[in-house]
């Protein structure tokens, strides 16, 4: 299976037949360190997150109630974060009318790429405008914490240092535009994120210094050594799943500067030296069994703002 994420540039807040059509971008974690377990059951993390151009597509049309349609039938229910985001905002603002939302999924579900969280953030941004609420970013950030730990990141995207359980953000200067190949192995784990966090022991905890060094290098515009792209979950997943270890070795190709794991996996990313290197690797790997392959690139906060029209 393959997926190309390069689409023609989207018009900001494109309106078609009374519908607003918006992209919800995926992310990769350039680093992810788990510092320890918190009394509330979550884990304290430090992560540098970066949006990529691969995206889902959401369309919005005014309606009498909140209605969601998704091209994946398994996501077509009230547990979908898009539905929860719309209902949360409507309840908070005492909105009586609704909205019809159509969600086209391209980002793999539970792949470690933040697709569901990004869809939720996109919903908050658009409904804030459609319902003329004018809530400031901080208010949307507070609300987003109820939906999931990394929803807040997607309200702005770009590159950011995430702390706390992932919701405390410090924007970072743009990561240089980089072409990326994503490999998502078809491994399904029910309640994946919760399960993988529950596998961690204190021996897996680190002090966040690698992530801080990565964010400092980004702030200062310094070259980033590949040793700073560290993910607590990577050694665990490579040991647990033969397929991930195999994919990791397949990515060790000339012109691949960094191989990393995104979130709690199972998606691996390869940061490539150039577009042509990425294209060659994409074409070489696109027929891998049990794996979806994407060719994409990093996308900055400013580019996202231009595409979203804010």
Single out the catalytic residue among 56, 150, 192, 307.
150
Q: Verify whether residue 150 is a known catalytic residue.
A: yes
**Closer to ligand C5P by Cβ: residue 57 or 167:** 167
User: Which parts of 190-209 interact with ligand C5P (CB under 6 A)?
Assistant: 193-194, 197
CA distance 32 to 50: 12
Angle of helix 137-144 relative to helix 115-130, nearest 10 degrees?
Answer: 140
Which of 157, 166, 208, 263 contacts ligand C5P by CB under 6 A?
166
Q: How far is the CB of 189 from ligand C5P (least distance, A)?
A: 12
- Residue 43 or 248: the one with the smaller Cβ distance to ligand C5P is 43
Q: Which is nearer to ligand C5P, 46 or 99 (CB)?
A: 46
Q: Which two tokens stand for residue 224?
A: 């980033």
State the nearest-atom distance from the C-beta of 268 to ligand C5P, in Å.
Answer: 20
Element (H, E) at 104: strand 98-104
Q: Which residue number has the CB closest to ligand C5P?
A: 149
Q: What mask of x and - would describe binding to ligand C5P in positions 122 to 161, judged by CB under 6 A?
A: --------------------------xx------------
Q: Is 43 in the site for ligand C5P (CB under 6 A)?
A: yes
| CB closer to ligand C5P, 11 vs 194 | 194
Determine whether 27 is an active site residue.
yes
Is 265 a binder of ligand C5P (CB under 6 A)?
no
CB of 50 to ligand C5P, least distance (A): 18
Catalytic residue list: 27, 150
């Amino acid at each position: 299976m393959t997926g190309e994420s390069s689409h023609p540039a989207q018009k900001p807040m494109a309106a078609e037949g009374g519908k607003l059509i918006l992209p919800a971008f995926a992310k990769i974690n350039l680093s992810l360190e788990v510092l320890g377990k918190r009394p509330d059951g979550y884990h304290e993390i430090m992560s540098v997150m970066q949006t990529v151009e691969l995206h889902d597509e959401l369309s919005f049309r005014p309606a009498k109630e909140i209605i969601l349609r998704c091209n994946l039938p398994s996501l077509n229910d009230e547990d979908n974060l898009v539905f929860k985001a719309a209902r949360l905002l409507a309840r908070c603002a005492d909105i009586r009318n609704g909205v019809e939302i159509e969600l086209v999924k391209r980002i793999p579900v539970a792949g470690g790429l933040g697709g569901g969280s990004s869809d939720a953030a996109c919903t908050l941004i658009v409904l804030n405008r459609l319902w003329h609420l004018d809530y400031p970013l901080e208010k949307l950030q507070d609300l987003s914490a109820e939906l999931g730990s990394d929803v807040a990141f997607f309200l702005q995207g770009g590159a950011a240092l995430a702390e706390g359980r992932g919701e405390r953000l410090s924007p970072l200067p743009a990561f240089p535009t980089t072409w990326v190949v994503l490999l998502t192995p078809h491994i399904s784990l029910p309640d994946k994120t919760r399960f993988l966090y529950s596998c961690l022991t204190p021996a897996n905890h680190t002090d966040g210094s690698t992530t801080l060094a990565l964010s400092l290098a980004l702030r200062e515009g310094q070259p980033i050594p590949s040793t700073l792209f560290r993910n607590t979950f990577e050694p665990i997943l490579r040991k647990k799943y033969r397929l991930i270890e195999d994919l990791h070795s397949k990515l060790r190709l000339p012109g691949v500067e960094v191989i990393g794991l995104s979130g709690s996996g199972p998606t691996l990313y390869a940061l490539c030296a150039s577009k042509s290197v990425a294209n060659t690797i994409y074409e070489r790997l696109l027929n891998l069994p049990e794996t979806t392959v994407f060719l994409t690139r990093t996308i900055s906060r400013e580019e996202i703002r231009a595409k979203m029209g804010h």
